[in-house]
A and B are shown apart, each in its own frame.
Chain A
Amino acid sequence: MAGAKYPTEQLKCWNKAKEIRENYYKNYAQAHDKGGLRWAGGAWSLGAIPAGLGDDVYPITGEPYGASIAFNKEFSIRCMEAAESKGYARDLCSYMRSYWGSIILNEYAFGGPFPKPDFMWQDHICCSHAKWYQVASELEGGVPVFCIDAAAGPYDEVTENRINYLVNQMHDGIAWLEKTTGRKYSDEKLIEAVHNECDATSTWAEICALNKAVPAPLEEKSMYALYVLGTLMKHSKIVADFYRELLDEVKDRVKRGIAAVPNERCRVMSDTQPPWGFLKIFRYMERFGCVSIGSLYTFGLIGVWEVKPDGTWGPRTTPRQKGLKIENRDQALRILADWNLSKPEWQHFYSPKLKSEMMIRIAKEWKLDGILLHYNRGCEGLSLGIAENRLALQKAGYPVMTFEGNMGDEREFDEARTTARIDSFMETLGLKKLE
């Protein structure tokens, strides 16, 4: 671009990320061909646990699958109408409705009939989590479901009693997995998966922390395609390795001053899942020189963080980095419970105050000029308390733009109106289109 402030480059890892995602959906569909197992659960499922059943156990996580459906508008609307015709309300989680619709229509978003899972492995913190798979199991004609109640936070109030509640359920879950699949469980594989999960989710946080740099080496629209791998199989070596590779590349970009948006002159963050069918709104903002450096959603849905000695936010130190050797199942499960309970996107379920604090921290440390809040009708879990977040951010002195929409139901997103809002928000921030 003529007169660009910063140099820019394509991400080298880009195609690899795409490939991992494609293989993931293919492997799930084809698992049975090689005698493997298929399981279904949420993006927050404690996937490290079924990893102990063997290397040929392939998951499909519901939220990213629902988002994949949202990209195909024709299929998406058919899925949602199929769920509605079965009597499910239109205001329910749009990922969940899309997922159910895909089962009802028996169409897989990646071709062929919907591959029925052998079991369902879910966790529960949002009201819809356990119920999602309760209904999915009914629609599939009775697939066995195990669900771990993880709503025992917030992390700053976690006690032994609360950790025990999670860990005891996890132990039951392992016994259930053995019984349900008839397989012998490997603690060794569990321990490896726990390490992988800690590594992957901490590395992702480290990558996001690099976006504090000006110019930002990454912008949010691309980050979605990268962070999604953590929502697919955060416990896998493939993802942990990929994030390490990506980390090196992003470090290099920062060192060389490579920008994601060559005309970066204004930094914002978003909040909650975007309307997936309309990611072009991010490109639209770039025309004003405005970069979205991420969000609590992209940083903290999968990324695990801690406050560093200097008071800033950085990746949580992993058991491996601490030189901790995990000796047995119970220890592995305790670490897994504690690790997950510290996830940033699990905190606001208890109070919007906790989320506002994290958002204000991001605004400061990532040097933001403004914030866009997506009042997301598709997700009551992540939109929880969002109106209070708006008040808190404004009180902290940040310009806030809100827009209503739905991550997975395009009938609830008004593109023209949103673009108009962006125009006036950019004007508030003193920006004009760079033509």
Chain B
Amino acid sequence: MFEQMQNWYDKRHAYAKEWKKNHPGGKVLGCFCTYVPEELVYAAGVLPVRLLGSHEPQSVTEPHIFGMYCPFCRDVLAQGLQKRYDYLDGITISQSCLHIRQAYTSWQMHVPTGFSYYLPMPNCVQSPHALSYLKGEFLAFKNALEKWTGNEITDEKLRQATELVNTNRRLMRQVYDLRKQDNPPMTGLEAMYMVVSSQMTDKNDHSKLLEKILKELPGRKMDRQTGARLMIIGSEDDDTAFIKMVESVGATLVVDDHCTGTRQFWNETELKGDVLTSIAKRYIDRPACPSKDWPERRRLPHILKLAKDFNAKGAIIIQQKFCDPHELDIPAIIKDLKKNGIPSLFLEFDVTVPIGPFRTRVEAFLEMIGQDDLF
């Protein structure tokens, strides 16, 4: 049922090239972070694709990024340096963590494209002034997109694009809602393929498939046991090999807090009054990346609510090695979950993870939260 989505993810480059063939004159914009306002990009008639790594060892980034930065940013840059995204017409980043920013700036210098844009997304999204500031920056970004593409971005186009992106978000939430069931009709791996593929395909194609899936999904019978219901929390994660392993040893991932998951699509843009302000508000209010979760810790109640709504019995907390923003949140998250009766397992990710040793930890964690009948 989700094979097409896996296929899109596995063959992302073929998809984008095909898209360009079918959209003469259409441009593809590589996005380094999920804070890039997709509404604006679609309104300009451009396809935004999220740049992700390929989980392969490589040696091309060593001269460009000092080894103390996260494996993800290096893996992403490696894709650029190895010319795997040679079809991109432009790149953009919305200000978030320092690590991924280096992938962007090095890409900008060494893999030239016709367009590059640094969008200074506020870090203090909790400030009452972040909204008007971001609206102003969205206006500047809109102007830059217009200049680059030659396409005027009217309010009407922004509304249509918002509807397009919102529909996709809404449909993915409907799919997620089904995971609340005692026996979810899908795996966490499938959910991951769904969300990451939405980040690299045309929302028209993706939503069409989602509608079809949503018709069949409620009656789907799984030929596997649900086992322990787990939540997964942490930094960028499209490590499908890891997810697959977890779900092969007696667990199902029922919800996540990842930017390759809920953080990216959870809330919709509510069009009220000024269109750019409405869109800006959506990005201010979305579930925060830890680099933006201050001075209050708003992620904690949000994560806890997800855990309760989806009836998670335990949490796997993962972190890209050296990811400072997550390292600054994880101790507080572990403590908060524990206080609320949800045990967690912490794991540090690299470009590839050692499946064997991680399997031992995951199994031990599952034994810890279950198997009461053996004592």
**A-facing residues in B299-344 (Cβ within 8 Å):** 321-322, 324-325, 327-332, 334
Give B236 Cβ to nearest chain A Cβ, in Å: 14
A406: nearest chain-B partner, CB-CB = B68
Judge whether A319 is part of the interface by a CB distance below 8 angstroms: no
Besides the known contacts A148-B124, A169-B124, 20 further A-B residue pairs in the complex with CB atoms under 8 A apart: A88-B331, A92-B324, A92-B327, A124-B294, A127-B328, A134-B294, A145-B295, A147-B294, A161-B137, A162-B133, A164-B129, A165-B130, A168-B127, A172-B127, A353-B109, A375-B66, A377-B68, A383-B66, A387-B65, A388-B106
Show 25 residue pairs from A and B whose CB-CB distance is below 8 angstroms, ordered by the A residue. Answer: A87-B334, A92-B324, A124-B123, A124-B294, A131-B325, A134-B328, A149-B122, A149-B124, A149-B130, A151-B123, A152-B122, A153-B120, A159-B140, A161-B137, A164-B133, A165-B129, A169-B124, A169-B129, A351-B105, A352-B105, A352-B109, A380-B69, A380-B99, A387-B64, A388-B64
Chain A neighbourhood of B297, CB < 8 A: 134
**A-facing residues in B86-140 (Cβ within 8 Å):** 95, 97-99, 101-102, 105-106, 108-109, 118, 120, 122-124, 127-130, 132-133, 136-137, 140
Chain B neighbourhood of A145, CB < 8 A: 295
- B109, B118, B128: which contacts A350 (Cβ < 8 A)? B118
Chain A neighbourhood of B102, CB < 8 A: 352, 384-385, 388
Give A404 Cβ to nearest chain B Cβ, in Å: 8
Give B349 Cβ to nearest chain A Cβ, in Å: 13
Chain B neighbourhood of A148, CB < 8 A: 124
Q: How far is the CA of A385 from the CA of B297 in the complex (A)?
A: 29
Judge whether B63 is part of the interface by a CB distance below 8 angstroms: yes
Judge whether A128 is part of the interface by a CB distance below 8 angstroms: yes
- Contact of A380 with B68 in the complex, beta carbons under 8 Å: yes
Q: How far is the CA of A253 from the CA of B98 in the complex (A)?
A: 41
- B98, B101, B290, B322: which contacts A91 (Cβ < 8 A)? B322
Judge whether B226 is part of the interface by a CB distance below 8 angstroms: no
Q: How far is the CA of A138 from the CA of B332 in the complex (A)?
A: 10
Give A254 Cβ to nearest chain B Cβ, in Å: 36
- Contact of B133 with A124 in the complex, beta carbons under 8 Å: no
Q: How far is the CA of A146 from the CA of B95 in the complex (A)?
A: 21
Closest 8 CB pairs of A and B: A149-B124, A161-B136, A87-B331, A165-B133, A131-B328, A168-B129, A89-B327, A130-B294
Q: Which of B's residues lie within 8 Å of A, judged by CB?
A: 62-66, 68-69, 95, 97-99, 101-102, 105-106, 108-109, 118, 120, 122-124, 127-130, 132-133, 136-137, 140, 290-291, 294-295, 297, 321-322, 324-325, 327-332, 334
Determine which residue in B291, B294, B329, B332 has the highest number of CB atoms from chain A within 10 A of its CB, and name it.
B294
- Contact of B124 with A130 in the complex, beta carbons under 8 Å: yes
- Contact of A130 with B123 in the complex, beta carbons under 8 Å: yes
Give B18 Cβ to nearest chain A Cβ, in Å: 33
**B-facing residues in A84-141 (Cβ within 8 Å):** 86-89, 91-93, 124, 126-128, 130-131, 133-135, 138
- Contact of A126 with B327 in the complex, beta carbons under 8 Å: no
A89: nearest chain-B partner, CB-CB = B327
Chain B neighbourhood of A151, CB < 8 A: 95, 120, 122-123
B329: nearest chain-A partner, CB-CB = A131
Judge whether A398 is part of the interface by a CB distance below 8 angstroms: no
Give B332 Cβ to nearest chain A Cβ, in Å: 7
Q: Which of A's residues lie within 8 Å of B, judged by CB?
A: 86-89, 91-93, 124, 126-128, 130-131, 133-135, 138, 145-149, 151-153, 159, 161-162, 164-165, 168-169, 172, 349-353, 375, 377, 380-381, 383-388, 390-391
Q: How far is the CA of A130 from the CA of B293 in the complex (A)?
A: 9
- Contact of B124 with A126 in the complex, beta carbons under 8 Å: no
B291: nearest chain-A partner, CB-CB = A127
- Contact of A349 with B98 in the complex, beta carbons under 8 Å: yes
Determine which residue in A127, A351, A381 has the highest number of CB atoms from chain B within 10 A of its CB, and name it.
A127
Q: How far is the CA of A168 from the CA of B128 in the complex (A)?
A: 9
Chain A neighbourhood of B129, CB < 8 A: 164-165, 168-169, 172
Chain A neighbourhood of B331, CB < 8 A: 86-88
Q: How far is the CA of A164 from the CA of B297 in the complex (A)?
A: 25
Q: How far is the CA of A384 from the CA of B329 in the complex (A)?
A: 21
Q: How far is the CA of A138 from the CA of B122 in the complex (A)?
A: 24
